[in-house]
Amino acid sequence: MKEQLRAIRGMNDIVPPLSARWQHLEQQVVGVLNAYGYQQIRLPILEQTGVFERSIGDTTDIVQKEMYTFADRNGERLTLRPEGTAGCVRAVLEHGLLNVQPHLRLWYIGAMFRHERPQKGRYRQFHQIGVETYGMAGPGIDAEIILLTARLWRELGINGLRLELNTLGVAAERERYRAALSQYFEAHYEVLDEDSKLRLVRNPLRILDTKNPAMLGLVANAPSLVDYLDPESREHFAAVCSILNAAGVAYVVNPRLVRGLDYYSKTVFEWITTELGAQGTVCAGGRYDALVELMGGKPTPAIGFAMGLERLLELHAAQTGDQPSSEADLCVVAAGDAETAATLRLAEDLRDDLRGVRVLCLCGGGSLKTQMKRADRSGAQVALIVGSEELASDTITLKPLRGQGDQQRVPRASLRDILTKVLAL
């Protein structure tokens, strides 16, 4: 036997019945996005490496160590997208979307790639649903996207997420803060770990992002960015908080929340759970008012977020339990191979007549008994059996599979009405 090939480490297949959970979650999320008037954008998975280097920042972990970058057959440097924001800005500018819709609300879904160390909740190929909005500078849109995520958790039945908020100010404020941070960490140079010493030279703000427990005390006593903010940034943040207060959305202000990407300014936020272990951030985002200009566009305010679908799903499954999966609502069975064509025709007619009902046709093969076992395993509510007698009398045998009444022979002409009742459509 040949050696069996395997998927790449950290890149997962999503197979049935789990794929049904994915579909369900995606449909619910998309329903909420539509309810807020967001439009879908579909973006390539590969971009020129510069798209990410310029936007995410070349001192970040993502650009430094995690991107899948390679030269293609023409020698062009390409990267598998590690996130969606950079490519979205690139596409918005390339298609002049802001000239048509200066206030733009977009969403996307898809696979992202980061060469991180795989563990529970952290994968090398993972999936995000993200939202990006452009052209709105006021605090209203910051609050809207947070309200949108809060609604999502409610509709998905997910509880116990903590919302952390912070403001990162604008570039000039961060420059002042950066100088103060450098001074502080230089004064404690001997207790910095190796990574932080490098970050001190490249970007001291990144030290605040450390996961090293030995560094947390030092980081806790570092200067806070809030003390370096101008009134405009403070007022923007206060306004976001006050809208959330009025809307009854609970949050905690975490002055240490810095995010792992360089393009952020002003409001940043994360939704965090304690139920998934170390990888507890299920959704994260913030403002990036300087990025559109940095990518070659006119100065344009922007804000967005992305949620990790693997994490969201894991949490959803943990909180809502295993839902029985089923392939179909109705299962059409041929008593013998001679009736296979008739069952296919019946299944087609039912799909026309009963929109949205899942009809599985077994396509023959095996005895009636074997087929009835397959019908039962499909999870369908009802089996519809077609044999020679049924064909001769223009009837169908209807067998409830989940204990709702007895088997009965019904006229083909009344099948639709009977099924509408039996399936409570």
Q: What are the residues binding ligand HAM (CB under 6 A)?
A: 83-85, 114, 116, 122-123, 126, 128, 130, 132, 260, 281-286, 304-308, 310-311
Nearer to ligand HAM, 265 or 381 (CB): 265
Least Cβ distance, residue 126 to ligand HAM (angstroms): 3
Which CB sits closer to ligand HAM, 185 or 237? 237
Cβ closer to ligand HAM: 83 or 173? Answer: 83
CB-count burial class (<10 Å; 0-12, 13-18, 19+) for 249 = middle
CA–CA separation, 63 and 53 (whole Å): 6
Least distance (Å) between residue 396 CB and ligand HAM: 48
Question: In the structure, how many helices (H) and strands (E) does the chain have?
Answer: 16, 16
- Closer CB to ligand HAM, residue 283 or residue 347? 283
Closest residue to ligand HAM: CB criterion: 308
DSSP lists the bridge partners of residue 5 as none
* Omega prior to 17 cis, within 30 of 0: yes
Strand 104-113 relative to strand 162-167: parallel, antiparallel, unpaired? unpaired
In the complex, least distance from residue 251 CB atom to ligand HAM, rounded to whole angstroms? 16
Question: What is the C-alpha separation between 228 and 48, in angstroms, rounded?
Answer: 36
165-193 as b/e: b if 16+ CB within 10 A: bbbbbbeebbeebbebbbebbeeeeeebe
We find the least distance from the C-beta atom of residue 310 to ligand HAM, in angstroms, to be 5
Q: What values do phi and psi take at 131, rounded to 5?
A: -130, 135
Q: Give the span between the Cα atoms of 201 and 183, in whole angstroms.
A: 11
Question: Tokens 């609050």 label which residue?
Answer: 143
Q: Which is nearer to ligand HAM, 83 or 289 (CB)?
A: 83
Least gap, CB of 255 to ligand HAM (angstroms): 18
Kindly state the smallest distance separating residue 174's Cβ from ligand HAM, in Å.
17
Q: Which is nearer to ligand HAM, 88 or 360 (CB)?
A: 88
Residue pair 37/71 in contact (Cβ under 8 Å)? The answer is no
- Closest distance of CB 274 from ligand HAM, Å: 15
Residue 296 has φ and ψ, to the nearest 5°, of 105, 10
Query: Which residue lies nearer to ligand HAM by CB, 199 or 287?
Result: 287
Minimum distance from CB of 276 to ligand HAM (Å)?
10
Residues sharing a CB contact under 8 Å with residue 310, sequence separation 6 or more, in sequence order: 12, 121, 123, 126, 127
Torsion of CA 85, 89, 94, 96, to 10 degrees: 130
For ligand HAM, the closer of residues 185 and 271 by Cβ is 271
In the complex, what is the shortest distance from the CB of residue 402 to ligand HAM, in angstroms, rounded to a whole number?
37
Q: Are 158 and 319 in contact (CB under 8 A)?
A: yes
Whichever of 117 and 355 has its CB closer to ligand HAM, that residue is 117
Taking the CA atoms of residue 100, residue 104, residue 107 and residue 111 in that order, the dihedral angle to the nearest 10 degrees is 70
Phi, psi values for residue 305, rounded to 5° = -155, 165
